[in-house]
């Protein structure tokens, strides 16, 4: 898994009744975009160190004009 600052991390709920959560990656602590990440969850603003598991998906920022 590779991510950059600003990407979104979608964490799927693992049990019935637990909703998916979305977090913004605010710092990449691993090498070459690998975990762990410092994230801020959108629903409550909680920040934490996070190593995503198989229930997580990175949604990369769309590159705008002049960006790579």
Three-state DSSP class for residue 52: coil
What pLDDT does 64 receive?
Answer: 53
User: Which pTM was predicted?
Assistant: 0.81
Longest dimension (CA), the chain: 43
**For 40-52, what is each residue's pLDDT tens digit?**
999 999 999 999 9
Three-state DSSP class for residue 17: coil
CA distances to 8, 55, 59 from 62, rounded to whole Å, are: 11, 22, 9
Alpha-carbon span 11 to 32, nearest angstrom = 21
Kindly state the helix (H) or strand (E) to which residue 56 belongs, with its residue range. strand 56-59
Only one residue has tokens 């998916």, namely: 20
């Amino acid at each position: 898994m590779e991510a950059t600052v600003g990407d979104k991390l979608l964490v799927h709920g693992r049990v019935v009744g637990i909703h998916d959560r979305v977090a913004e990656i605010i710092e990449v602590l691993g090498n070459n975009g690998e975990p762990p990440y410092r994230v801020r969850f959108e629903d409550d603003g909680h920040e934490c160190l996070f190593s995503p598991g198989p229930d997580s998906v990175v949604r990369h920022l769309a590159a705008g004009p002049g960006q790579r």
